[in-house]
Every structure is written in C-alpha cells, then in structure tokens.
A and B are shown apart, each in its own frame.
Chain A
Amino acid sequence: MDFGSINPVLLIAALMLASTPILLAALGELIVEKSGVLNLGVEGMMIVGAISGFIVAVETGSPALGFVAAAIGATIMALIFGVLTQLLLSNQVATGLGLTLFGLGVSALMGQSYVGIRPPASPRLTFFGLSEVPVIGPIAFNQHAMVYVSLALVVAIWWYLKRTRSGLILRAVGESHDAAHALGYSVLKTRFAAIAFGGACAGLGGAFLSLVIVPQWTEGMTAGRGWIALAIVVFASWRPWRVLLGAYLFGGVTVLQLNLQAAGIAIPVELLSMSPYLITILVLVLISSDKRRAAANAPASLGRSFHASA
C-alpha cells in the first residue's frame, strides 16, 4: 500500500506527542482505582490543570513552573473529591461527575482574561547530536520533556505496584479495605495519597494540552480526553503497560487517520474518524478477553465507601 507523503518517523513522533495527555491522566486514574476509589472527575481535573498551568506559565514565563502549578491546581480539585468521598462518604460516581462539571465551570472563570494569549514556548529537548540521527533521532531524542516523564511514570508505576511494599498496601486497600484496615494499614491515608497523585497526573496531562499541544487557553479544550483516559484504564484491565498501549493506540490511530486524510489516501473518512475508538476498544477487549482473569484484575473494593466503624 502506498502511503504517499506520510513519513513514518514524523508519524511516530507525532503520535507520542498526541497521546501524552491521555497517558498521563490514565496513569493517575490507574493508581486511584487500584486503591479502590473511582474518580470520574478526570476531565474536570485535567481542565483545571490546563488553566492553572497556563496562568502560571504566562505570568512567570516558565513552562516548568506552569507544569508544577498544573499539578498543584488539579491536586486541590482531587482533594475536594477526597474530602467529600472519603471523609463525608458521599457517592463516588455522583461526586466525580460533579467534579467534572465544577472543573469545567471554574476553569472557564479562571481563564477569562487569558483567552487569546500565547504561552511561553516549551521547546523540545535536544540531546546534542542525537536528535539529528535519522529515524531514531526525531522519535527518541527530540520530544518534549513531559513525554519522557510520562514514559518514566509507566515504568515507575509498574515497579511500584509490583515490587514495593507501599504498592502492595495500595493494592490491598483496593482489594479489601476491611482486611487492610484490620491489618492496621490506614485506608484513608492510602486513598488520599492515591487521589492526590491521580489529580496531579491529570493536571499534568491538561497542562500538556494547554502549554504544548495546542498551545493556548480555550474553554472546554480537553474536549472529552478525561473520559477517554477513564475508558482506557478499564480496558487496560488496570495494568500500566496496557495503559501505555491503549493511550498510544488511541493517539496513534487518531494521528494516523488525520495523516491518511492529508495524504489523500482513498479510505472513507467516516471509517477513519471512528477508527481510533473502534480499534482501541477492539484491541483492549481482545487482550483482556479472558473473562475470569480480567474480572480478577479489577480492584474488588472499587467505588465502595469505607468507614472504620463498618
């Protein structure tokens, strides 16, 4: 098949860029859900991160500080969710949905005077001569710093869940909070930490949109990416490597279909437009098709409230 003017190297570099916000948000939500908490407010936290990061980056001129602020802003949102669901025992689904609505509204308010402003550029990293190496250079050595951070996070989360004591406790809390509590682990502390981490990751994902991909502030700019991240966590059956696969697959097919259109390849556009959703779901359903194992992978206490008295 002739791919015309599509350059596979640029395509891979572009897909890594386009997938990063979803990957970051999904990794955060993975940890949250592993601790037994279902936070549907990813979209709201992402967009608050997007505007917090944007405001600080514009005011200070430093994209790095912007990312820090994005993580903090979204963490505050996540902690609101934490207080409501963990201390006041509100319903997690309803609170999460509320958090998304609140985030969309509050971000619009915060961003009112930041419409149409250009943020400071966050340049791609270059590694001396390495970026110029054909094929590998543009893919591996010429990306934005956050792309490397997101990949490092995949490894770190995998290591954390699989190989550390604290990761084991987190999983125990997610599987059976009563048992973990009986063993003397603090369910609340663990869950609060997980919720805060999830918020920070979603915030970084949002800021990657507003500072790197787009880069500017517009209301509602996350446009549903938080929901995609949520879906990817489920389809990836709560495994970090599959989250990476799911996010890159979704981003990859999105970028590929746009490139196929740009190159004028004769495939019906309708088919191309729905392909990211279709292919991502298909692949992830296939790899998690062993029903028993997939079900066993879902944290058993997911979405259930915990109170020490119960």
Chain B
Amino acid sequence: MKKNIILAAIAALGLGAAAQADTTKVGFVYVGPIGDGGWTYEHHQGLLAVEEEFGDKVETVYQENVPEGADAERAMTQMALQGADIIFTTSFGYMDPTINVAAKFPNVKFEHATGYKRADNVSTYSARFYEGRAVQGHIAGKMTKSNKIGYIASFPIPEVIRGINSAYLHAKKVNPDVEMSVIWVYTWFDPAKEADAAKALIDNGIDVVLQHTDSTAPQAAAAEAGVISFGQASDMAEYGPTPRVSSIIDNWAPYYIDRVQAVMDGTWESVDTWDGISTGMVKIGEITEAVPADVKAEAEALRDAIGAGEYHPFTGPINKQDGSVWLAEGEVADDGTLAGMNFYIEGITGDIPN
C-alpha cells in the first residue's frame, strides 16, 4: 500500500515536471474578489488576456481575497511550491510578504504592484493613476454646484495621497472656490462601508464623489442622491451616463503579456515600471453626455496633453499644505518625490493619518 502511494507520488511529480517543461505557470494574488467590479476585476482581466495570448503555453492560478499580511506569504509560498514561474502580487500591502517569499524562492519571478521595494527576482509596476485623477479633478471642479467635492480614500499610502492631491489641484485650477472633504475608510473593499462613506459625504452637502476604493457601492449611493461620481479602476459603465460621468480604467493586460513573454524567453529582469496615459496603462473611460460639451472637450484636451508628455499634472507653482514651497514656477515633480508622497498640497484641509 505504502509503496503504491510513493509510486503515485513519484508519478505525479514526474507528470508535474513534464508539464512544467513546456508550460509557464503564472500566479496572481488578489486582495479582493474578481467580481468586485473594480481593482481586482481589472487584474483578472489581465490574467484572462494572458491566457488568451498564450493559450496552452501558460497555466494560470489565482487566489482571491488574500488579506494583506501574514496570510499573503502563505498564499505566495503555496503558489511558488506548486511550481509557479512568475507571481503577480496585486496590492500595496503585499510588499513585505512578496520580498520575504521571493528571498526563499530565488528562481521564481515576482511582480509587485504599486510598491517600492525590489530585489533581483522582484519587479515593481504601477500606473500613474494621478494622471487620470487630474482629468477627474478638472471635471469635478467644473461640475460642482455646491463647490464641495468629496473623496473616499482607502489607506494613507503615497498612491492614494497622489490621487487626492492631483484631483484637488486640478479642481482648484478651474474653480478657485472648491473645497474637498476626504474620508479615510481603511479598507480597499467593503461595499457597505463605502456606501456609508458616500452617504456621509452627500449628507454634508457634497455633490461630486471621487473614490479610491474597489467596489461600485459609492456609485449606487451617488445615483440615489442625484450627484455625480467617477468609475475607479474599472469603467463601471453600468452606472453611466449619470452618476458615473467618466472613469479611470487600469489596463494591465499589455504589461502582463509582456512580462510573461519575458519569462518564456528567459529575458526577464527586475525592473520598475510606472506607466500612465501615454502607454495606455491608464485609460480615461468615456466622458458621458451629463458633462457639458465644452467641459468634455477641455478634459479630453488635458488627457491628450498628459498622454503626449506636454503637460505634467504636478507642475509648479505648488505649495505644500503648510504653505512652504514644493515646486517653483514651471518646475515638474520628480518620480522619487511622487513615489513617496506623504503630504497634502496647499488648500486641502485635515491631516493625513499616519
């Protein structure tokens, strides 16, 4: 009996090795469910695109709802032990777990989204969402009637703070009277809490809701109250033409296909990728007819200028919240400062939690 089991195990191992020889195994670790309609949904679209592109040559595995913390290490380790060649870890909070697990599996390639720690077998990649936020801020500033816009923020990390600053900056540019309220909900995905946060903003007189959380719940709250909102991470087109008047779409597919190809070719190297509108990693979803034609044209011009590299959303003069100078006239923010952004710009009230 025992012998049989051992034989079976050897056979299984042999099969596994044979399967490994001509297929590349690709793993994805997700922070939410693939049906969230936002962030994780778009990463999963990337996985599907990889399958579509390479067919039988790849084998994909993914795990949903992996908490950011010790459990993430377990999920990654399991994937690595199952023979994954490349593992995409798709949330900021997976940064340290990714580095730890990568150290144990030097032959497995890791790709961590939105973080800033790299290793020989760990690449980082992110999208310049703040470029999209600039377009949203422009529309928000033009569309608000109460001059109060609201922002549902997840965690106080540089990626989120960049988005808040960029949206506020561009709203303020077109509407000097605009005020912004930020609510920190400390979650990426909790539809009921996101809905409560949206309602709290609306009850406080806000008529444009921006969100940096992953579900479509704020869209539904905005629809009920008759205010406008923007799709986040995914198009959320089912909430158009209003409340959703535009969106930021994360388009990961081309990047994922590239990286898997590199693993197949043996040309994979640890890199830091940060792409935006220019490469199509950040897309602006259709601006609906709820937005007046002139505002729409301006927003599209802004999008195109950013895409063509003619305009950087953080171009001076910009002061920090305390009034000190951050960027002088005409000066453009460098990537290092942006990557570690931990301050509000002048005019935003409230403090960033630690």
* A contacts, CB < 8 Å to B: 4-7, 10-11, 14, 18, 21, 108, 111-112, 115-118, 121, 209, 213-223, 225, 254-255, 258-259, 261-264, 266, 268-270, 273
Contact check, A218 vs B33: say whether CB atoms are below 8 A apart: yes
Q: A11-B203, A18-B196 are in contact. Are A273 and B186 (CB under 8 A)?
A: yes
B-chain residues with CB within 8 Å of residue A263 when the two chains form the complex: 181, 204
Question: For window 178-210 of chain B, which residues contact chain A by CB distance below 8 Å?
Answer: 181-187, 189-193, 195-197, 199-201, 203-206
A213 touches B192 (CB 8 A): yes
- Is B158 an interface position by the 8 A CB rule? no
Contact A116 B238 (CB under 8 A): yes
Report the bound CA distance from A125 to B274 in whole Å: 50
Asked if B203 and A10 make an inter-chain contact with CB atoms under 8 angstroms apart, the answer reads: yes
On whether the beta carbons of A261 and B195 are closer than 8 Å, the reply is: no
Q: Are B192 and A209 in contact (CB under 8 A)?
A: yes
User: Which of A209, A217, A259 contacts B204, CB < 8 Å?
Assistant: A259
Alpha-carbon distance between A121 and B252 when the two chains are bound, in angstroms: 34
Q: Is the CB of B220 within 8 A of A215?
A: yes
What are 23 A-B pairs with beta-carbon distances under 8 A? A7-B203, A14-B203, A18-B192, A18-B196, A116-B37, A116-B216, A213-B195, A216-B191, A216-B216, A218-B33, A218-B35, A218-B189, A218-B215, A220-B32, A221-B215, A223-B192, A259-B200, A261-B182, A262-B181, A264-B349, A268-B353, A269-B184, A273-B184
Total A-B Cβ pairs within 8 A? 121
User: With a CB–CB cut-off of 8 A, which chain A residues contact B200?
Assistant: 14, 255, 258-259, 261-262
Q: How far is the CB of A66 from chain B (nearest CB, A)?
A: 16
Q: Chain B residues with Cβ under 8 A from A255's Cβ?
A: 196, 200
Q: Are A258 and B197 in contact (CB under 8 A)?
A: yes
B32 to chain A, nearest CB (A): 7
Bound Cα distance from A259 to B204, whole angstroms: 7
Taking residues whose C-beta sits less than 8 angstroms from the other chain, chain B's interface range is 35 or more
- Using a CB-CB cutoff of 8 Å, which residues 24-40 of chain B contact chain A? 32-37
Taking CB atoms, residues of chain B closer than 8 Å to A111 are 35
Please determine whether B220 and A262 come into contact, CB atoms closer than 8 angstroms: no
Beyond A219-B35, A262-B201, 4 additional contacts (C-beta under 8 Å) are A115-B37, A255-B196, A262-B150, A269-B353
**A262 and B183 form a contact (CB under 8 A):** yes
Q: How far is the CB of B314 from chain A (nearest CB, A)?
A: 24
By the criterion CB–CB under 8 Å, are A261 and B183 in contact? yes
Is B167 part of the contact surface with A, judged by Cβ < 8 Å? Answer: no
Of the candidates A6, A18, A108, A266, the one whose C-beta lies within 8 Å of that of B33 is A108
**Is the C-beta of B279 less than 8 angstroms from some C-beta in chain A?**
no
Residues of B within 8 A of A217 (CB): 35
The distance from the CB of B247 to the nearest CB of chain A, in whole angstroms, is 13
A155 to chain B, nearest CB (A): 26
The residue in A18, A209, A214, A268 that gathers the most chain B C-beta atoms within 10 A of its C-beta is: A214
Bound CA–CA A258/B152 (angstroms): 10
Nearest A residue (CB) for B199: A14
Q: State A169–B257 Cα separation when bound (angstroms).
A: 65
Question: Which residues of A lie under 8 Å from residue B201 when comparing CB positions?
Answer: 262
- Contact between A270 and B204 (Cβ–Cβ < 8 Å)? no
Give CA–CA (A214, B217) in the complex, Å. 5
Q: Which residues of B contact A220 (CB under 8 A)?
A: 32-33, 65, 189
Residue B220 contacts which of A18, A214, A268, A273 (CB distance < 8 angstroms)? A214
When chains A and B are docked, how far (Å) is the Cα of A258 from the Cα of B349?
16
State whether the Cβ of B4 lies closer than 8 Å to any Cβ in chain A: no
Given A14-B196, A218-B36, A223-B193, A5 contacting B204 (CB threshold 8 A)? yes
**Chain B residues near A21 (CB-CB < 8 A):** 192
- Known contacts A218-B216, A255-B196; A262/B204 CB under 8 A: yes
Q: Kindly supply a per-residue 1/0 record for chain B positions 153-197, scoring 1 wherever the CB is within 8 Å of any chain A CB and 0 otherwise.
A: 000000000000000000000000000011111110111110111
Tell me, in angstroms, the Cα distance from A268 to B351 when the chains sit together.
Answer: 8
In the complex, whether B354 has a CB less than 8 A from a CB of chain A is yes
